C-alpha cells in the first residue's frame, strides 16, 4: 500500500507540474482527492491493514494528501496570476492618449474693468447703486437741467420708446434718482455702473451701446479741488503713476463748471494713432460740480450743499489700459480676443 501511495503522489505531482490551465487542474484535484479519487480509494482499503500498519500508513497518506493539496494550491495561485496578467494586458488602457480639452470660461474683460473701478471707489467710501436702462425723459434729461427742446439734448441722440420713455443715454439719471432717495438732507457718495444707448455711429472708439460708470459726491463744502483729487487718484491707480491726465473746460447742462478728462494714449504713447484720432490723448470721462438747479430739483438746498459728479466710459478705459485698438472687440465675441484677458 505504501508503494501504491508513493506512486500516486509522484503521478499527481507530475501532472500538477505540467498542467497549464485551471480547468484541468480542478480535474486533477477531483481525480486524486475527490470522493472517488485514487488517494481516497486507497485510503478506503486501510481497513484491511494490521493494527500496527494502520497508523503508519495513515500518517503517510495524510502527508501525501497535504503535499498534493499544497502543490494544487500553489499551481492554482500561479495559474490565476497568469490569467489575471493576461486579462490586464488584453484590457490595457492607453493612458498616453491626450485628453479632450474642456473650454474654461472667464469673466469678460469689461466685467473685470467695471469691478476693478468699483473696488477702487468702494475703497474711497463710495456705495454702488443701479438704475433702470429704460428711463423716463424726466430723469434722463429734465431732472438734469435739460428741459424739453433744450439744444444740449442733441449731444446725446437717443433711442425713444415712447414720447416719455427712452433707453438711457447716460448713467447720470441715477444721480437724480439717488439724491431724491436721500431726501435732500443727507450726504451722497455713490457710483453707478450700467449700460447706456446712443444713436452714435459705430467706429473704433464709439459704440451705439456701451457702458458708463457714474460717480456722485454731495455734501456740505464739496469743492472742485475734491473732484480733481479724486480723478487724479483714480487715474494713477488705474493707469500707473507715469500716465498723464489733462482736464479741459467743457459743458454739461447738469454741472457747472464742467470738465472733460483725457489720458495720454497708451497705444501710441502720445505720438498719434487711430485710437486717439492722432491727438495723443483719449477722452475717458466728463465731470463737473453738480449744477445748483439739479441739487434744488432733487430737494437739496444749494446754498448748503455742493457736490461733484463724473461719468466715465469703461470700454475706453480698458482700451487704454490694455492697448486695444477697436471698441467693437468688446461686442463681437471673438473668443480669441476675450481669452487673452482671462488671466489679466
310 lies in the binding site for ligand FA5 (CB under 6 A): yes
309 lies in the binding site for ligand FA5 (CB under 6 A): yes
**Helix, strand, coil fractions of the chain, as percent rounded to 5:** 45, 20, 35
Q: In angstroms, give the least distance from the CB of 316 to ligand FA5.
A: 4
Which residue number places its CB atom closest to ligand FA5? 313
189 beta partners: 217
Contact 252, 288 (CB under 8 A): yes
Cβ closest to ligand FA5, residue 284 vs residue 324 = 284
Which ranges of 146-254 would DSSP assign to H, the alpha helix? 173-181, 224-239
168 lies in the binding site for ligand FA5 (CB under 6 A): no
* Region of 104-112, 116-124, 199-207, 335-343 interacting with ligand FA5 (CB under 6 A): 199-207
The SS3 of residue 317 is helix
Cβ closest to ligand FA5, residue 61 vs residue 287 = 287
Q: Which three cell numbers stand for residue 10?
A: 509522484
89 beta partners: none
Cβ closest to ligand FA5, residue 25 vs residue 309 = 309
In degrees and rounded to multiples of 5, residue 262 shows phi and psi of -110, 155
Residue from 113, 265, 285, 338 that binds ligand FA5 (CB under 6 A)?
Answer: 285
Angle between helices 224-239 and 314-322 (to 10 degrees): 40
Cβ closest to ligand FA5, residue 207 vs residue 264 = 207
How many C-beta neighbours within 10 Å does residue 257 have?
14
Q: Which three cell numbers stand for residue 128?
A: 454702488
Cβ closest to ligand FA5, residue 80 vs residue 130 = 130
Residue from 9, 140, 158, 172 that binds ligand FA5 (CB under 6 A)?
Answer: 172
Cβ closest to ligand FA5, residue 194 vs residue 311 = 311
* Region of 34-42, 84-92, 277-285, 333-341 interacting with ligand FA5 (CB under 6 A): 277-285
25 lies in the binding site for ligand FA5 (CB under 6 A): no
Q: Kindly determine how many residues on this chain lie close enough to bind ligand FA5 according to the rule CB under 6 A.
A: 25
Binding mask 246-275 for ligand FA5 (x = CB under 6 A): ------x--x--------------------
Q: Which three cell numbers stand for residue 187?
A: 450726504
As a whole number of angstroms, the distance between CA 180 and CA 193 comes to 19
9 lies in the binding site for ligand FA5 (CB under 6 A): no
Contact 257, 249 (CB under 8 A): yes
CB neighbour list of residue 256: distance below 8 Å, 6 or more residues apart = 288, 289, 291, 292
Residue from 8, 174, 267, 284 that binds ligand FA5 (CB under 6 A)?
Answer: 284
Contact 217, 189 (CB under 8 A): yes
Cβ closest to ligand FA5, residue 32 vs residue 308 = 308
Max distance between CA atoms of the chain, in angstroms, equals: 136
Residue from 37, 173, 286, 307 that binds ligand FA5 (CB under 6 A)?
Answer: 286
List contacts with ligand FA5 (CB under 6 A): 170, 172, 198, 200, 206-207, 210, 212, 214, 252, 255, 283-288, 309-313, 315-316, 327
Amino acid at each position: 500500500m505504501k508503494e501504491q501511495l508513493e506512486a500516486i503522489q509522484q503521478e499527481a505531482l507530475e501532472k500538477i507540474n505540467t498542467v497549464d490551465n485551471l480547468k484541468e487542474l480542478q480535474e486533477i484535484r477531483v481525480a486524486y482527492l475527490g470522493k472517488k479519487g485514487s488517494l481516497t480509494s486507497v485510503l478506503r482499503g486501510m481497513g484491511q491493514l494490521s493494527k500496527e500498519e494502520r497508523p503508519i500508513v495513515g500518517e503517510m497518506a495524510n502527508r501525501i494528501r497535504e503535499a498534493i493539496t499544497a502543490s494544487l494550491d500553489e499551481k492554482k495561485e500561479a495559474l490565476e496570476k497568469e490569467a489575471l496578467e493576461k486579462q490586464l494586458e488584453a484590457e490595457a488602457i492607453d493612458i498616453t492618449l491626450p485628453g479632450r480639452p474642456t473650454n474654461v470660461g472667464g469673466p469678460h474683460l469689461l466685467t473685470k474693468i467695471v469691478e476693478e473701478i468699483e473696488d477702487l471707489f468702494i475703497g474711497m467710501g463710495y456705495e454702488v447703486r443701479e438704475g433702470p436702462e429704460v428711463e423716463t425723459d424726466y430723469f434722463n434729461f429734465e431732472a438734469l437741467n435739460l428741459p424739453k427742446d433744450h439744444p444740449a439734448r442733441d449731444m446725446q441722440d437717443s433711442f425713444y420708446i415712447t414720447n416719455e420713455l427712452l433707453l438711457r443715454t447716460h448713467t447720470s439719471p441715477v444721480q437724480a434718482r439717488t439724491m431724491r432717495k436721500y431726501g435732500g438732507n443727507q450726504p451722497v457718495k455713490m457710483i453707478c455702473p450700467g449700460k447706456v444707448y446712443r444713436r452714435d455711429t459705430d467706429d473704433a472708439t464709439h459704440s451705439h451701446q456701451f457702458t458708463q460708470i457714474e460717480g456722485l459726491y454731495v455734501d456740505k463744502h464739496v469743492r472742485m479741488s475734491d473732484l480733481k483729487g479724486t480723478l487724479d487718484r483714480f487715474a494713477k491707480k488705474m493707469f500707473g503713476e507715469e500716465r498723464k491726465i489733462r482736464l479741459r473746460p467743457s459743458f454739461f447742462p447738469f454741472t457747472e463748471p464742467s470738465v472733460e478728462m483725457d489720458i495720454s494714449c497708451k497705444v501710441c504713447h502720445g505720438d498719434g494713432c487711430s485710437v486717439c484720432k492722432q491727438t495723443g490723448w483719449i477722452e475717458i470721462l466728463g465731470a463737473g460740480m453738480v449744477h445748483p438747479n439739479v441739487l434744488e430739483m432733487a430737494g437739496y438746498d444749494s446754498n448748503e450743499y455742493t457736490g461733484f459728479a463724473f461719468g466715465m466710459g469703461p470700454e475706453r478705459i480698458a482700451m487704454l489700459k490694455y492697448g486695444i485698438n477697436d471698441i467693437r472687440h468688446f461686442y463681437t465675441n471673438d473668443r480669441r480676443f476675450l481669452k487673452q484677458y482671462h488671466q489679466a
